[in-house]
Amino acid sequence: MAIFKGAGVAIVTPFKDNGEVNYPEFEKMIEFQIKNGTDAIIVCGTTGEAATMSEEEHMDVVKFCIDKVAGRIPVVAGTGSNCTQTAIELSKKAQEYGADAVLLVTPYYNKATQGGLYAHFGAVAKEIDIPIILYNVPSRTGCNILPETAVKLAKDFDNIVGIKDATGNISQTIKMMSLAEGSIDLYSGDDDQIVPIMSVGGIGVISVLSNVAPQQTHEICAKCLEGDYETARELQFKAYPLVKALFSEVNPIPVKTALKLIGFQPGPLRLPLTELEPNNQEILKNEMKKYGLL
């Protein structure tokens, strides 16, 4: 059974001006997501700036999210690392805290071979019982899980059940799904490819757009799951200009600005990320108006 179907939000982590996590604001964001139909929350992923957190802080944020969601929808904890032992420790802690699943990004900087990727993910899978979603985002990590490797992992380890595909390579995705024979749940990792990914067997998206448009992102997925691809396609087209604006600079720079514009207080970004450039702020604001968010 799938961890979730539909739109899972890759939720932002709000910070105070002094750099500490703003937990009261984070709770508001969690409640906003649940109220507006988000199907799952993915905490401490790329969008949550997990790469700038200490391990203790990282897991405190994960636990807070799990506790506040309180079983209303699934919570997937980002626990990936380029150090296999660290990924194991974070994943075991997430399981202890009650996460429904973990999201494991490919080891960044190390640039493991396919054999190394198999060994890395397999090592984590052996240490936990909860489901694992692999996260393939070569543009950020310099490392690509090839279709054969993803499928072998899914078939060899019962708890490796899904993959977040942010390759942007639909040909690779199709090859993987053709080899998988139903052994792997596919989630789009790109908001501009929800419909294409779901049309070849995907069951949802792990979304940045959902931070500001949870209902709309859920609806795109819902129409795909209903088989109404004509409506889903139109909704995808409508969202495209806003999605483009949300990725005008590296994620999560634009989406933190977008959250400010709809009344949240996401706070500053942690270095090395910096604030959205003024011209891109104007573009983002205009696209949010056109989309009906402002």
SS3 for 83-131 is CHHHHHHHHHHHHHHCCCEEEEECCCCCCCCHHHHHHHHHHHHHHCCCC
| Residue 195 domain-assigned (yes or no) | yes
pLDDT in tens, 119-154: 999 999 999 999 999 999 999 999 999 999 999 999
* Pair of tokens at residue 28: 């508001």
CATH code, 212: 3.20.20.70
pTM for the predicted model, two decimal places: 0.97
| Residue 36 domain-assigned (yes or no) | yes
pLDDT in tens, 222-275: 999 999 999 999 999 999 999 999 999 999 999 999 999 999 999 999 999 999
How many domains does the chain fold into?
1
pLDDT value, residue 1: 76
Whether the predicted pLDDT of 195 surpasses 80: yes
Taking CA atoms, 65 is separated from 26, 110, 130, 209, 248, in Å, by 8, 30, 17, 19, 28
Instruction: Confirm whether 135 is a catalytic residue.
Output: yes
Of 63, 118, 135, 291, the active-site residue reads 135
pLDDT in tens, 57-72: 999 999 999 999 999 9
| Residue 249 domain-assigned (yes or no) | no
Instruction: Name the residue range of residue 219's domain.
Output: 6-226
| Residue 21 domain-assigned (yes or no) | yes
- Alpha-carbon span 132 to 6, nearest angstrom: 17
Of 63, 164, 223, 256, the active-site residue reads 164
The three-state secondary structure class of 145 is: coil
**Average confidence (pLDDT) over 203-212:** 98
Question: 162: which strand partners?
Answer: 133, 185
| Residue 245 domain-assigned (yes or no) | no
The three-state secondary structure class of 161 is: strand
78-83-88-89 Cα dihedral, nearest 10 degrees: -90
| Residue 132 domain-assigned (yes or no) | yes
| Residue 261 domain-assigned (yes or no) | no
Taking CA atoms, 293 is separated from 154, 214, 219, 221, 268, in Å, by 39, 11, 15, 19, 22
Taking CA atoms, 138 is separated from 54, 100, 145, 252, in Å, by 24, 25, 8, 17
| Residue 272 domain-assigned (yes or no) | no
Instruction: Confirm whether 108 is a catalytic residue.
Output: no
